[in-house]
Amino acid sequence: MEYLSRVVDQLLQDRLEAKGAVLIEGPKWCGKTTTGKKFSNSVIAMDRPDMSKQYQAMAEIDPQALLEGEVPRLIDEWQIAPNLWNAVRYEVDQRNEMGQFILTGSAVPPDVDESFHTGTGRISRLQMRTMSLYESGESDGEVSLEGLFQGDSPGGRSRTTLDEIAFLICRGGWPQSVKMQDKPALFQAIDYHEAIISQDISRVDNVSRHKEKARRLLRSYARHVGSQASYEVIRQDMLSNNIGTFDEKTLYSYIDALNKIFVIEDTPAWNPNLRSKAAIRTTDTRYFTDPSIAAASLGIAPNDLMNDLRTMGFLFENLAIRDLRIYADRLYGNVYHYRDNNGLECDAVIHLRNGNYGLIEIKLGGDSHIEEGADTLLDLASKIDLKKMKAPSFLMVLCGIAPFAYKRKDGVLVVPISCLKY
């Protein structure tokens, strides 16, 4: 089967040249194993049904035996035998060579931070996500995010329609689904959603969790995508749907489990130096790692989104944030959001290690919404104290549907997401 290139490929190659081992983390079914196999010369799959118990026993008795093989050696789903972490760390120390191991994991083992050596200096962590539109072929990549940071003006044409955007939201970036067309492509996200509820949310730390409560939590989280809703607001939303008792401690336990299996990924607040005295809101913005999880949690299909453009706008924002995170990773940057107590809000801020940053508003489309996004960006840019930090490298309205990528007279860039790449 043909390997679909991933943005993370170059990051993995760079880390293998710099570290003894690399850990690839991310949601299951996002392509970690396939990518790991592409870059490895031997493989051990810890979740292999006929060998898993034997492998776990060997990990307890003689873990080094599992590490023997051509390098880089892939240890797939290493968290099934968590003590392999220290074994890999020790072996890296002994060999004193780069690129020895690739570990993949779709869950963070319980208590790993308390009882395991961090692996700092030996094991590099790399987060992998589902496929961006550029990786799946729905973006032609005519506009480079890296180029925008270097001052390039965008150019390109988009033919993506609104109903296609609705489909891409519900399908998601699951590698298996991007090879399919129409209705069959939607089942991957639906099956993933059911697996979370029935198995994964409990199996991650061996704590039994109520399936219906997990279902209601995911639905409530989906209703608050793109907002800074507090956990208490989400909890009260669940209680309004007659789920019985659900206290704060229980909620945190469920959310922690969803984080550990890479289902949700909130965006932290950006704290710039401003000339104004506006108080910056620090609550994270709620997102799923892939917009299709939100759609599946709400039980909606592309046609439903076409009939509810408000909901579609929030879920498109989740899709755009997913892609921006993937592209920012390639540029060694991070994605943040901005909101202050005056109501000024910016959907995404990409901040690079060198201090350069870009301000981005995400809009489904339409002239009035693009105008609104441009006004917001110009307003925020005008409040930044340029004596204390750099001016933004660019201001961009990232759209679901727009015929062209172009630069407005006021300097704001308008870019269809189907034209964007890293």
Q: What is the pLDDT of residue 182?
A: 85
- For residue 246, give both structure tokens: 């659900």
DSSP β-bridge partners for residue 373:
none
**Residue 184 contacts by C-beta under 8 Å, 6 or more apart in sequence?**
none
Q: Which helix (H) or strand (E) holds 324?
A: helix 309-330
Stated length of the chain: 422
DSSP string of 253-301, one letter each residue:
HHHHHHHHTTSB--BPBP---BSS-PPBP-PPBP-BSSHHHHHHHHT--
- Are 25 and 139 contacting, i.e. CB atoms less than 8 angstroms apart? no
Residue 115 pLDDT: 44
Give me the pLDDT at residue 279, please: 85
User: Residue ranges of the chain with pLDDT lower than 70?
Assistant: 1, 110-120, 242-243
> In whole angstroms, what is the distance from residue 362 CA to residue 169 CA?
14
Q: Which CATH architecture has domain 8-127?
A: 3-Layer(aba) Sandwich (3.40)
Residue 84: Cβ within 10 Å count:
25
pTM of the model as a whole: 0.95
What is the predicted pLDDT for the residue at 239? Answer: 87
| Token reading at 279 | 């108080």
Find how far residue 147's CA is from the centre of its chain. 22
| Dist CA 56 CA 47 (whole Å) | 10
Q: Is 209 left (phi over 0), alpha (psi -120 to 50) or beta?
A: beta
d(CA 333, CA 339): 20
Map out the domains of the chain as residue ranges.
Answer: 8-127, 133-421
**220 backbone dihedrals φ, ψ, rounded to 5°:** -65, -40
Give pLDDT, residue 277: 80
> Is the distance from CB of 308 to CB of 117 less than 8 angstroms?
no
